[in-house]
Amino acid sequence: MTIADVRFGPYVLGPLLGRGGMGEVHRATDTSQDDRVVALKRLAPHLSADTGYRERFRRECEAAARLDDPHIVPIHRYGEIDGRLFLDMQLVDGRDLAAELAHTGPMFPARAVGIVAQVAAALDAAHAAGLVHRDVKPSNVLLTAPVPGRPDFAQLADFGIAAGPAAGGGADGTVEYLAPERLVGNPTDNRVDVYALACVLYELLTGLRAFPGSDFAAQVHGHLYLPPPRPTDTFGAIPPGLDAVVARGMAKDPAQRYQWAGALADDAIAALGPGLAGPAAPQRSTTSRRRLLLGAAGAVALAGGAALAVTLTRSGGQPAGPSPLVSGPPPEPVIEERALAVRSVSPFPFQATRVGGRPALLVDDLDNRTRLYDPVADRDLAWMPDNTVQISTADVVTIDGRDLVVTARASEIVLVDVQTSGIAPVGKHESMYGFAAAGSVLATAGITDGLVRRWDLRSRSLLGEQPVPVTGSGVSVSLSSVELDGRSCLVVQVTGPNLTYVWDMQTGEHVLEAKAIGSIAVLDGAPVLVSLGEQLVVVDLRTGAVVRRHDVGSRLLQEFALGVLNGRPVIATEGEDQDKIILLDVDTGQRFGAPMTGHEAELTHVDFVDLEGRPILVSAARDNAIRVWDVAVRAAS
């Protein structure tokens, strides 16, 4: 019998969505409600056998079902079937915050605060109704499936197994988020949820649990005796005011803590400052700014940071009509356009990447040392051991919560721990000339053997190898990665015959191919290749058909950068004056905005990084300078 055949009262159980100490959650079909698809939580048998818990469960579910805050997952039905307690909830199309954090690493402060503000709204609604959640943690926060250009929408789940305010102490729940009064058996109230929310905020900002140690005793010691952690002690540009928010939210004494979750959210939003908290004007109150962060339109959505995540949606495959890239007044700058303190003479001066969910650069500086650098805060994050990192074949990956630089020099592939500089070998591939990383998988290509090898960076072992479909003199291969239809894919591009192959990154399975090469984007919901010479050409990667072709006139740098502005793909490239950067709309082929001037010599490299959904351009030139530009501001000028 398969799980699809299992019936539970009127429900037909589908795939298992999650399992924990309290029970398991299935996607299920409610045959008594016109086959409505729901999330069905079946509580653990030992809880169903507890008479006192069954009574509390029914009482709390009844109260929770009356809550109508949009950031609380609605409860359809609850009760007991065949002696087992269950909870029927709305199915949220997306994933929980723990899974999102594992996928992205630490979040930008504005995104983290935006999510916490929504959870705070849910908690305040529940607390006003006399409910205490008692298990606020990332896995109980659900994020709807992301929509490009829109902010996150968060909903708090599992209110049906919460405890009422009159409940005594006790350490039921998840120890990483337990307030001290719960651990020592003191009376509890809604402020235990405030404490847990502060723990969640810290974790979203840093990617770390509030206190070190994975065992129960270490966590208890931290909650009872260690001071609240400071987010700014980790790397990255975290607004210092968030230290005070976390400290007050995690105060050992409930009387010193925020008394309501919304107060924590208001202070967190204020700590961001007007440049990061979204569109709120400086004169608005923090409460008004929180409403903006909670609303359907806001500025805390995290757009894809890599050039491979560019999207443009249309209907019917036809142009949607002229819609300006920029409308309304010029946006406020989010960075100061400037030459960075770091300089480089390398022919490949920097590699754009991300560390802890934030923009970062790997740079060979003037002393021939490799540094990991924050281009927004204009400060170093880490230094790499001498003669270890090859910038052109390097990237940052996050594995089991640790940021690691994966790099290949000559034939050796190694991992370098960002925090400790410890080095771990992965393997060898002679004469490497292609390199791409996605998640915990690395792909390398060799000149002499004509092979693409895929490595599991977590186990530091070879996953498999495959020959490049076309080899021979005059042929070179470049590698990149892209997410296609939910799959992490490897893009193998062969110059000479100009062929692109797409393989599954994990298995090596052939996905699609096209007779074209270029940079990857998504147009009309389909993967495309964008190339730039005397013409700007867009090729459907699945069919090989040209879907856009624009004459762009004079000579343009073929090594361009592809980014996204207001949901539309844009190109930054060298113009006729080789020390200036121009912007092109991929859809129309038209130039827009003012040229970016400041370099004193010919450009050598450009790339985009993402800051809170805003495209930031990084450029390097033969004047040894590396500069940053706010493209949204330039586009409006």
Q: 619: number of CA atoms within 13 Å, CB side?
A: 34
Structure tokens at 528: 């495309």
Pair 134, 163: CB distance under 8 Å: yes
Give me the DSSP letters along 400-455: TTEEEEEEEETTEEEEEETTT--EEEEEE-TTEEEEEEETTEEEEEETTT-EEEEE
Structure tokens at 254: 């409930």
Choose among 499, 497, 571, 583: nearest CA to 532.
571
C-alpha to C-alpha distance for 533 and 554, rounded to whole angstroms: 9
Structure tokens at 556: 């343009």
Per DSSP, what are the bridge partners of residue 617?
608, 629
C-alpha to C-alpha distance for 379 and 95, rounded to whole angstroms: 34
C-alpha to C-alpha distance for 319 and 542, rounded to whole angstroms: 19
Pair 159, 72: CB distance under 8 Å: yes
Choose among 138, 94, 148, 99: nearest CA to 115.
138
Binding-site residue numbers are 41
Catalytic residue among 96, 135, 193, 243: 135
Pair 631, 617: CB distance under 8 Å: yes
Estimate to the nearest angstrom the gap between the alpha carbon of 178 and the chain centroid: 26
Choose among 533, 528, 630: nearest CA to 589.
533
| 135 counts as catalytic | yes
C-alpha to C-alpha distance for 463 and 106, rounded to whole angstroms: 28
C-alpha to C-alpha distance for 241 and 22, rounded to whole angstroms: 36
Query: 61 — phi, psi (to 5°)?
Result: -65, -40
How many Cβ atoms are within 10 Å of 146's Cβ, its own excluded? 17
Binding-site residue numbers for ATP are 41
Choose among 200, 135, 199: nearest CA to 167.
135
Pair 582, 565: CB distance under 8 Å: no
Residue 376's alpha-carbon distances to 21, 109, 341, in angstroms, are 42, 13, 11
Extract long-range pairs of 601-607: CB within 8 Å, 24+ residues apart.
602/574, 602/578, 603/557, 603/574, 603/578, 603/579, 604/347, 604/349, 605/348, 605/349, 605/350, 605/559, 606/557, 606/559, 606/560, 606/561, 606/572, 606/573, 606/574, 606/581, 607/307, 607/350, 607/352, 607/561
Structure tokens at 378: 């204009």
Structure tokens at 303: 């757009």
- Residues with a catalytic annotation lie at 135
